[in-house]
Amino acid sequence: MDVELSIQPNKKIRLSSFQNNMDGTGSCSLSIQSGRFSYSTTEFCFDSLQLFTDQVKTIYQSLVGTAELSYHYEREFIKFEAKSMGHIEFSGEFIEYGEIQQELNCGFILDQSYLPDFIEQLECVLQAKYS
């Protein structure tokens, strides 16, 4: 089951291949296209998909707040933050450790009207994988 938020061909987020761990945490494959930059990993870990989904719902309904999907021991994250006039800011930070550490910070603005489909897809994953 996939979750995709596609604003334009060069502005999209895709989460797929969800895994549920016994401790309530999870992981998924993640790919992001943000302008000229792209990021892809087969293991993006997170603490609570349910909390993230609830936070995205709150942003959509009240146009305030943030929703962050991350893992408590890692710096990597994806985040949505409500801004003025119904705009939502997406941002993400990703790190590749190795001989030379690499970091990618990315983001784009979207309209709140893109969130209902995204929320519905997240809820389908929660129902299928986490209930």
Chain segment 20-36, per-residue pLDDT in tens: 988 889 999 999 999 99
**pLDDT at residue number 129:** 84
Q: What does the alpha-carbon distance between residue 130 and residue 28 come to, in Å, rounded to a whole number? A: 13
Helices vs strands, H then E, count in the chain: 2, 8
Per-residue pLDDT tens over the stretch 38-66: 999 999 999 999 999 999 999 999 999 99
CA distance 19 to 46: 10
Mean pLDDT of 119-123: 98
The architecture of the domain spanning 3-129 is: Roll (2.30)
